[in-house]
A and B are shown apart, each in its own frame.
Chain A
Amino acid sequence: MAPAASASLSSIKKSAVARDNRVADRSELFDERFLKTLEHLHMVSRKVFAGNIRAERRTRKVGSGIEFADHRTYSRGDDFRYIDWNLYGRLDKMLLRLFEEEEDLYIYILVDVSDSMAIGSPLPKLHYAMQVAAALTYVGLANLDRVAIIPFADRIIDRLPPSRGKNRIHRVFEFLRSCDLGGKTELAGCMKDFVAQNKRRGLAVVISDFYDPEGFEQGINTLRYNKFEPFVLQVYDKREAEPQLHGDLALVDCETGDTREVTVSKSLLEQYTKAHEAYCKELEAYCTKYALPFFRTHTSIPFDQLVLKIFRSGGFLR
């Protein structure tokens, strides 16, 4: 490694360590007050979504449910009881009736814990993401869904296995407090590992800033292609969207260590803000295109407001 690159990396490590002191301290993240807020959110969610069937989520999986879902061509070995004889009479084709299978919903909360998530002031994006993850988990657990938490960065860092019942929330807090942090963002690889490790399909809530140099499409596509229901939650810091920089600077990527010398002018800042907005819009357009729930928030918005917004818009609870 060239000496310059070595020096650059060492400075990055130093900054990551310095940042860790602030970010790693998650002892105050889930306190009594937070728990009360979660309980409040749960109550609100029940009120908002009254009438919905708890723990009986219709999935896209077809099976032994009672509600008709689709037809498919009969193949040898299929149960004769599900052959649609009316259609056979009219069309002279053997078609099998498919029903939506009713089963427990699996919710996978995928939290980005890469180095870029450690940035943010006064609250790092990571802390914000963890609070949102905890809130969604709590509501999921309370709804008797099976909720798993998977922190990731350049790999799947850890895994809290799916569990049900809101009495599990303290285990969730403990997991979020103690999970490892850091690394580069590699969505594609992580999602590939995730689908390989989790055969039960379900809702995959991805909480991240989606700052992946390789792009976000491949990672989300992996979820889609494997029948997961991606739920995209983008978290960013206002200062990274509209940085207050001026003068001659050496910009260092906190994940890769890439250094770029730049003289920041007003016009450059405007261009950057536009580029950041365009990137976010790109993600939003992608989600809209594939009818994926998408939420974008910055860390200045209280997490409970965001969670309520998610509930109101639907998609997370049905």
Chain B
Amino acid sequence: MSLLGPIPLAIWAWIAFGAAALAIGAYVIKMRRRRFEVPFSTLWKRVLEQKDANSLWKQLKRLMSLLLILGILAIVLIAALDPTLGAVDRKARSVVVLFDASASMKAMDGDEAGKQSRLDAAKQRTKALIDSMGGGDLAMIMKVDGQATPMSRFTSDGPVLNKVVDGITASDTPADLTRALGAAADALRDRPNPLIVVVSDGAFPEAQLGLVSWDAGKPVPATDPSAKATSAEWNAKNLAAIDLSNVDVRYLPVGRRSDNVGIVAFNVRRYIANKAAYEVYIEVQNFGQEPAHRQLALYNGDTAVDVKRIDLAPGQRIKQIYAKLPGSADNKLRASLRPLEGAGGSDSFALDDQAFALLPARKKQKVLMVTEDNLFLEGALLVYDNVDPTKVTPAEYTARPTVADGMDVVIFDEFTPDVMPPAPASLLFFHPTGPNSPFKERGNLAFPRITEIDEGHPVMRWVTLSDVYMDKSAVFAPDPKKGESTIAYSVRDPIIVAKRDGRRKVLAFGFSLPSEGRDAGTDLPMRVAFPMLLVNTLDWFAGDQTDLLTTYSTGTRERVPLDGVVGATEAEVKGPDGSLTKTPIIDGLATFYGARVGYYDVTAKDAKGNPMAQIELAANLASPAESDIAPSTELTLGGQQLEPPEAFAITRSKKLWIYLVLLAMALIVMEWVTYHRRITV
């Protein structure tokens, strides 16, 4: 018999002592009795005297009652220690079943007829494995997809484990074997006869299969200069590797077929110059051993943009680019592969036959220019078809500041107003001055030259300002504590600065644009960089990022920007199936994890529940390793080929707690009956 309970013996002893003291105390403390008046106690005295002749027996019965209660207590406390008969059998094993529930397990090749999925076949094999376990063997089921999720604790209860296995569903993500092996090795640490059984089709990336260490070797000492390189190499490899020393790892393969053609890449982007148009990139690969024929269709919403037949040789990957596609109201794109009738048309894995993408949102901005006639500024804006410009003079704005109401962007050219436009309109200043300047000025600079720019800032993307001429410029004193940052320096003097003020964004140039009657001069408007600078600025104001990706792979954790989020710490993610989950927002970036293929909607809300920022995302399998559904009958992990699991040795084990609890319950019932029948009192 062994005691495997989680309660330390010292605590158990205290509990036992306390419980026994309570029980004895309950017997010692005199019970307060109900008073009852009798007319003639002499009669009772006679009866009791007669009964008291057996007082020794009476006391003995009371003692027996106490002993019975103490016995019940002892039984319950022993049961709490989870005693087990036969668990010390050296052949008993601790097993973690790594159950592959990745996307490839959805392949319909669990049986010859193609009516059963790999997942179902894996469940059958796992249950057979569980059923073959001995009484002393303990097993834990761990689901492996993009994450490693323990589905049960270590138990020898076969029906419970089978129920857990039955409840597993496959996700749309690739499997992360490394993470799962690490979790299994941690779970098996200090357990006797550890065993990991990988139930899978073997569709793992090569990189994951190598991150395993079978021997707990020591790092090579770095004292010897000649061994330094070896030591560094050893450490780099082994610190990332999963330590499986002394762990027996077995592989239980499932799957039969390999014929699959899948979309392995699908993305879309708008043209920078013409955001109304976009181009699409698709990669399709034949993972089968036979030539395949498919119909590839591209849809924009429900409208078919292109449908074509593609023929793929075994293993061939083709790339399709659809250029200069005209935009439409619907920003959802979908690529679809349909098997053609005849030879090479079969496909047992449907998940990668569809892929989804989203065009970045596009919005026409209302721009108000507050300027005297400035041909450079107006001309630059007119070439950008994504804006709706309006112009007023500074005098008109001063007379009627409400003209800026409802504007997305207001540009002040050589003018700093007393009354700022209402938020969230973003503001662009050229040479702001005076007390109302959005940025504090600390002087002026003659003939400055832009020597450094913040290349990471969206405004400075693809822009070169290194030899721009300016005859003078204001120098700002941005305060980083207020979120103000410098995006262009003249040596160490900030001359272009930006900031976020809640949902409003503000950008200021320290210099003026050339105009009639203005003594300031710069050649910036004559450069290619100027319209690009304006477009970048307007895109930044609008929250558009030309290089923003809206299409991700399932099973990967990405951080996506949520423009204009202030104060929110978490966003709501609506999945393809309509499910709602929460995800944290850190520094304006929301964490996104797609477990299913399809469209997602990430929304940040303010305290009142009103949407603050929202972004649509698409998730695709996009994993050649998962789409390559050819089952691996053999799996090599860290250079060691895994064997199928052997039959479990027959071990005996009886968990005694249930019997002890039943015994305690029987004794309690007996005590109750004997007490109420006045046998033990």
- A interface residues, Cβ below 8 angstroms from B: 11, 15, 115-116, 119, 209, 211, 213, 237, 240, 243, 245, 247-256, 258-268, 271-272, 275-276, 279
The one of A119, A209, A240, A247 that contacts B34, using a Cβ cutoff of 8 Å: A247
Q: Which residues of the other chain, B, contact A254 by a CB distance below 8 angstroms? A: 37-39
The one of B34, B48, B677, B681 that contacts A260, using a Cβ cutoff of 8 Å: B48
Is B36 at the interface (CB under 8 A from chain A)? yes
CB-based closest 8 A-B pairs:
A265-B678, A253-B41, A211-B40, A116-B39, A250-B33, A119-B39, A254-B37, A271-B47
The one of A245, A256, A275 that contacts B43, using a Cβ cutoff of 8 Å: A275
Is B35 at the interface (CB under 8 A from chain A)? yes
- A240 touching B42 in the complex, CB below 8 Å, given contacts A263-B681, A266-B678, A275-B47: no
CB within 8 Å of A: which of B417-451?
none
Q: How far is the CA of A116 from the CA of B40 in the complex (A)?
A: 7
Could you tell me the dominant secondary structure of chain B's interface residues?
A: mixed
Q: How far is the CA of A138 from the CA of B37 in the complex (A)?
A: 34
- B54 to chain A minimum Cβ distance, whole angstroms, is 11
The one of A248, A256, A267, A271 that contacts B41, using a Cβ cutoff of 8 Å: A256
For the A-B complex with A11-B35, A263-B681, A272-B44 known, give 5 more contacts whose Cβ atoms are closer than 8 Å. A249-B36, A251-B38, A252-B37, A258-B41, A260-B48
In the complex the two chains form, is B33's CB within 8 Å of A260's CB? no
- A248 touching B38 in the complex, CB below 8 Å, given contacts A263-B681, A266-B678: no
In the complex the two chains form, is B678's CB within 8 Å of A250's CB? no
B36-69 CB mask vs A (1 if < 8 Å, else 0) is: 1111111111111011000000000000000000
Is B236 at the interface (CB under 8 A from chain A)? no
Q: How far is the CA of A127 from the CA of B642 in the complex (A)?
A: 101
Q: How far is the CA of A265 from the CA of B677 in the complex (A)?
A: 7
Q: Which residues of the other chain, A, contact B36 by a CB distance below 8 angstroms? A: 245, 249-252
The one of A240, A245, A261 that contacts B39, using a Cβ cutoff of 8 Å: A240
- A129 to chain B minimum Cβ distance, whole angstroms, is 13
Q: Which residues of the other chain, A, contact B45 by a CB distance below 8 angstroms? A: 260
In the complex the two chains form, is A240's CB within 8 Å of B681's CB? no
Q: Which of B38, B41, B46, B50 has the most CB of A within 10 A?
A: B38
Is B31 at the interface (CB under 8 A from chain A)? yes
Q: Which residues of the other chain, B, contact A253 by a CB distance below 8 angstroms? A: 37-41
Q: How far is the CA of A265 from the CA of B36 in the complex (A)?
A: 15
Q: How far is the CA of A245 from the CA of B35 in the complex (A)?
A: 11
Could you tell me the dominant secondary structure of chain A's interface residues?
A: mixed
CB within 8 Å of A: which of B282-323?
none
- B100 to chain A minimum Cβ distance, whole angstroms, is 65
- A249 touching B681 in the complex, CB below 8 Å, given contacts A209-B39, A209-B40, A260-B41: no
- A263 touching B38 in the complex, CB below 8 Å, given contacts A271-B51, A272-B44: no
Q: Which residues of the other chain, A, contact B46 by a CB distance below 8 angstroms? A: 275
In the complex the two chains form, is A250's CB within 8 Å of B34's CB? yes
The one of B35, B39, B47, B678 that contacts A211, using a Cβ cutoff of 8 Å: B39
Give me 20 A-to-B residue pairs in the complex whose CB atoms sit less than 8 angstroms apart, sorted by A's number.
A11-B35, A116-B40, A209-B40, A213-B40, A213-B42, A243-B38, A250-B36, A251-B36, A251-B44, A253-B37, A253-B41, A254-B38, A254-B39, A258-B41, A263-B678, A263-B681, A264-B678, A271-B50, A272-B43, A275-B46
Q: Which residues of the other chain, B, contact A271 by a CB distance below 8 angstroms? A: 47, 50-51
Q: Which residues of the other chain, B, contact A264 by a CB distance below 8 angstroms? A: 678
Q: Which residues of the other chain, B, contact A115 by a CB distance below 8 angstroms? A: 39
Q: Which residues of the other chain, A, contact B38 by a CB distance below 8 angstroms? A: 240, 243, 251-254
In the complex the two chains form, is A248's CB within 8 Å of B50's CB? no
Q: How far is the CA of A249 from the CA of B31 in the complex (A)?
A: 10
Q: Which of A243, A251, A263, A265 has the most CB of B within 10 A?
A: A251
Q: Which residues of the other chain, A, contact B677 by a CB distance below 8 angstroms? A: 265
What is the chain B residue whose CB lies nearest that of A256? B41
Q: How far is the CA of A312 from the CA of B35 in the complex (A)?
A: 43
Q: Which residues of the other chain, A, contact B50 by a CB distance below 8 angstroms? A: 271
Q: Which residues of the other chain, B, contact A261 by a CB distance below 8 angstroms? A: 33
Q: How far is the CA of A245 from the CA of B34 in the complex (A)?
A: 11
B343-370 CB mask vs A (1 if < 8 Å, else 0) is: 0000000000000000000000000000
- B395 to chain A minimum Cβ distance, whole angstroms, is 103
- A265 to chain B minimum Cβ distance, whole angstroms, is 3
Q: How far is the CA of A261 from the CA of B31 in the complex (A)?
A: 10
Q: How far is the CA of A254 from the CA of B40 in the complex (A)?
A: 8
Q: How far is the CA of A243 from the CA of B36 in the complex (A)?
A: 11
Q: How far is the CA of A266 from the CA of B679 in the complex (A)?
A: 10
In the complex the two chains form, is B42's CB within 8 Å of A249's CB? no
In the complex the two chains form, is B35's CB within 8 Å of A249's CB? yes
Q: How far is the CA of A252 from the CA of B38 in the complex (A)?
A: 6
What is the chain B residue whose CB lies nearest that of A271? B47
Q: Which residues of the other chain, B, contact A258 by a CB distance below 8 angstroms? A: 41
- A279 touching B43 in the complex, CB below 8 Å, given contacts A260-B48, A265-B678, A271-B51: yes
Q: How far is the CA of A237 from the CA of B34 in the complex (A)?
A: 22
B15-38 CB mask vs A (1 if < 8 Å, else 0) is: 000000000000000010111111
What is the chain A residue whose CB lies nearest that of B30? A261
Q: How far is the CA of A65 from the CA of B544 in the complex (A)?
A: 145
Q: How far is the CA of A243 from the CA of B31 in the complex (A)?
A: 22
- A118 to chain B minimum Cβ distance, whole angstroms, is 9
- B640 to chain A minimum Cβ distance, whole angstroms, is 74
- A148 to chain B minimum Cβ distance, whole angstroms, is 27
Q: Which residues of the other chain, A, contact B41 by a CB distance below 8 angstroms? A: 251-253, 256, 258, 260
In the complex the two chains form, is A249's CB within 8 Å of B39's CB? no
Q: Which residues of the other chain, A, contact B39 by a CB distance below 8 angstroms? A: 115-116, 119, 209, 211, 237, 240, 253-255
What is the chain A residue whose CB lies nearest that of B46? A275
Q: Which residues of the other chain, A, contact B678 by a CB distance below 8 angstroms? A: 263-268
Q: Which residues of the other chain, B, contact A251 by a CB distance below 8 angstroms? A: 36-38, 41, 44
Q: How far is the CA of A265 from the CA of B31 in the complex (A)?
A: 17
Q: How far is the CA of A276 from the CA of B41 in the complex (A)?
A: 11
Q: How far is the CA of A240 from the CA of B41 in the complex (A)?
A: 11
Q: How far is the CA of A250 from the CA of B33 in the complex (A)?
A: 6
Q: How far is the CA of A267 from the CA of B33 in the complex (A)?
A: 20
- A210 to chain B minimum Cβ distance, whole angstroms, is 9
Q: How far is the CA of A40 from the CA of B38 in the complex (A)?
A: 36
